[in-house]
Amino acid sequence: MDGRSQGLRGDRRVTLTEVAKRAGVSRSTVSFVLNGRTDLRLSADTFTRVRRAADELGYSPNATAKTLRTGRSGTVALVSDFIGTTSFANAMVRGVLESLHDADTLLYTVDTQGEPSLESKLLRSLINRDVDGIIYGSMFTRTIAVPELLRNVPFVLLNCVSDDPDTAAVIPDEVGAGATAASALLAAGHRDRIWFVGIFPPGTTGGAAWHSWSPLALPERLQGIDGALAAAGTELAGSVAIADDWDVANGYSSVAKLVASGATPSALICINDAVGVGACLALQEAGMRVPDDVSVMAFDGSPLTTAVRPTLTSVALPHEQLGRLAAQLLLDGTAAPRVHRVPMTLSPGHSISAPSSAR
């Protein structure tokens, strides 16, 4: 007695041998027919006999045996720090699943919590299971070092890039997003009193644990903003630092402080939606109307944008497209080994209008 029966329940599984027996042909023939190999010309009669037998028995080939034989498993894995388990970012999973669906491929979801030892163990486990490829991702857009084990298998980076130029990677066009945000404000008539909310406190990239990951969103969005403003012959009036975390509470307190200091911004560009929501709440509590007195622009396009009145205008992260493209590149196998940038588009809300001075 070996444990084989444990995975099953009720009826024994139908095997290729049984189909062959029922159809009165060899196992080879059944395999050829069921895999649609037309290069071998089988008689039409044999063909239909085999198909019928398979149907009648409800035969479905065992994928484990197939994998052992062919080396291909029809599975890929999404390995990341937290993508699979985090709100909102996990829209990337949706995109991945969409692409895989058409390719009849199953997905392992693996979150490593950013722990290298756990990551190694899980990568090894996946490779031992003959995954056809791995999508290696990060919740924050950042630069990562490609784990050695990953090189045993085809892979694509998702929402992160590596130093190695010969690596396929898919990330949002954060620079373009910054330009989009600034351009929208310029188009509305803003120019001289545009502030940015969300730089790291002076002298630190540290502070909160995740700061040490150096999210690319901050420098690249700023770069895009600076570029667009410079092209219009202007620049940011100032920047507000946020310590700890880009959340509602910190957005609120930072902007409350800004307003209390006597600053009179015509528009705020906030590093993300949570900070943008906090900014709106602080402005409104200080008696300033959004957008009549101050316009507010944010990034991410998360559900938080609908949680304020007026709703928040935001440049949306293309999570789903990122996932979809990464999976496509992996499946194609012919992915250009370069960084693929996915555009971020404006998600319209009601927090932007002409500056009050222009009214």
Residues 152-181 binding a copy of itself (CB under 8 A) are 152-154
**40 binds, options DNA, a copy of itself, none, Cβ within 5 to 8 A by partner type:** DNA
Tell me which residue has tokens 């790291």.
200
Please list the alpha-helical segments (H only) found in the chain.
Answer: 16-23, 27-34, 44-57, 63-70, 91-102, 116-128, 174-188, 217-231, 248-260, 273-285, 319-332
Applying CB under 7 A, the span of 55-63, 88-96, 219-227, 289-297 interacting with DNA comes to 55-63
Tokens for 118, please give them.
């756990």
Question: Residues 163, 169, 174, 176: what is their CA dihedral angle, to the nearest 10 degrees?
Answer: 110
Residue from 62, 205, 239, 357 that binds a copy of itself (CB under 8 A)? 62
Q: Binding of DNA at residue 61 (CB under 7 A)? A: yes
- Residue 64 makes CB contacts below 8 A (sequence gap 6+) with none
In order, the DSSP letters of 52-106 are: HHHHHHT----HHHHHHHHS--SEEEEEESSGGGSTTTTHHHHHHHHHHHHTT-E
Q: Determine the interface stretch with DNA among 8-16, 145-153, 273-281, 320-328 (rule: CB under 7 A).
A: 8-16
Smallest separation, CB 290 to a copy of itself (Å): 13
Tokens of 179: 């330009």
Which tokens go with 242?
Answer: 């946020």
State which of residues 55, 56, 70, 230 lies at the interface with DNA (CB under 7 A): 70
Task: Tell which one of 116, 206, 238, 303 touches a copy of itself (CB under 8 A).
Answer: 303
Among the candidate windows 59-67, 152-160, 266-274, 277-285, which touches DNA by CB under 7 A? 59-67
- Cβ proximity to DNA: between 49 and 319 the closer is 49
Contact call for residue 10 and a copy of itself (CB under 8 A): yes
Task: Identify how many contiguous H helices and E strands the chain contains and give both numbers.
Answer: 11, 12
CB of 196 to DNA, least distance (A): 55
Residues that bind DNA (CB under 7 A): 1-4, 13, 15-17, 24-29, 31-32, 34-35, 40-43, 45-46, 59, 61-62, 65-66, 68-70
